[in-house]
Amino acid sequence: MEGELDLYKLWQSIVKRWYLFLLIPLFMAAASYVYCVNMVVPLYRASTTLLIKQQQPASQMILYQDVMLSRQLAQTYGEIARSATVLEKVAANLELPYGSSVLRGQVSVAPVRDTEIINISAVNPDPELARDIANEVARVFMKEIVNIYKVENVSIIDRAVTPPAPFSPQVQRSVSVAFMIGLVIAGGLTFLIEFLDKTIKTPEDIQERLQLPVLGIIPYIDKK
């Protein structure tokens, strides 16, 4: 029926234009690789983890209420760790050429779900500086907690170490996504060409488009 999608014809069109499904994805993948390797600045992430605990005598049992209070404090402590007070001191201690507003974009603080643990991460093009920022934020934050709450209830679980490899850009993932996009573009272009092609190539095209019967066929004879 006219207007219906003929899957066989579409498959024939895909086979006929196979080069589009080869060249376009390869071009997209190569362009993505060149962009990631030569134009994107690698970023490194270093993280340190802190534990919030309720101070109590060693003989006293840990109650459920104490655990829930520690988890609630994790949310508050996370905001304090990214406060201008903490970050300005970190920038000054590390002699960074920028202040808290820029540093806040490099530091993320998030409580680990359903735990009393806080994760402090720092992102920077310099892996050693990312490590130093994460550790310094943790150190200054713990000192500020003592000044604010007059209690030492935060301890370090893991200190940040120098990341061995950048986390961004993810070259392999970017190349794979670009290749898939290239396949979609090739498929869309093939479908568009087929849709716009109104030329008659077979007797079936005459019957389908003109609704006329085919009375005869004149064969093509190559005289060579």
pLDDT tens, residue by residue, 66-99: 556 666 777 788 888 999 999 999 999 999 999 8
Instruction: Please compute Rg for the chain using Cα positions.
Output: 32
pTM: 0.69
- Max mean pLDDT range (5-9, 167-171, 214-218): 167-171
Q: Which of 158, 189, 213 delimits the end of a domain?
A: 158
Residue 134 and residue 71 share a domain: yes
Q: Which domain holds residue 95?
A: 44-158
Please report, for residues 53, 63, 108, 136, 196, the alpha-carbon distance to residue 186 in angstroms, rounded to integers and kept in the order given: 57, 62, 40, 51, 15
Residue 109 and residue 29 share a domain: no
Phi, psi of 158 (to 5 degrees): -130, 130
pLDDT tens, residue by residue, 112-127: 877 788 899 999 999 9
Residue 108 and residue 68 share a domain: yes
Residue 148 and residue 97 share a domain: yes
Are residues 150 and 47 in contact, defined by beta-carbon separation less than 8 angstroms?
A: no
Share of the chain above pLDDT 70, in %: 77
Residue 152 and residue 50 share a domain: yes
Give a yes or no: residue 103 inside a domain: yes
Total count of domains within the chain: 2
Residue 111 and residue 15 share a domain: no
Residue 11 and residue 82 share a domain: no
Give a yes or no: residue 57 inside a domain: yes
Give a yes or no: residue 169 inside a domain: no
Q: Which of 101, 125, 158 delimits the end of a domain?
A: 158
Give a yes or no: residue 52 inside a domain: yes
Q: Which of 67, 39, 42 is nearest to 53 (CA)?
A: 67
Q: Give the pLDDT score at 200.
A: 65
Q: Give the pLDDT score at 136.
A: 95
Query: What CATH number is associated with residue 123?
Result: 3.30.70.1130
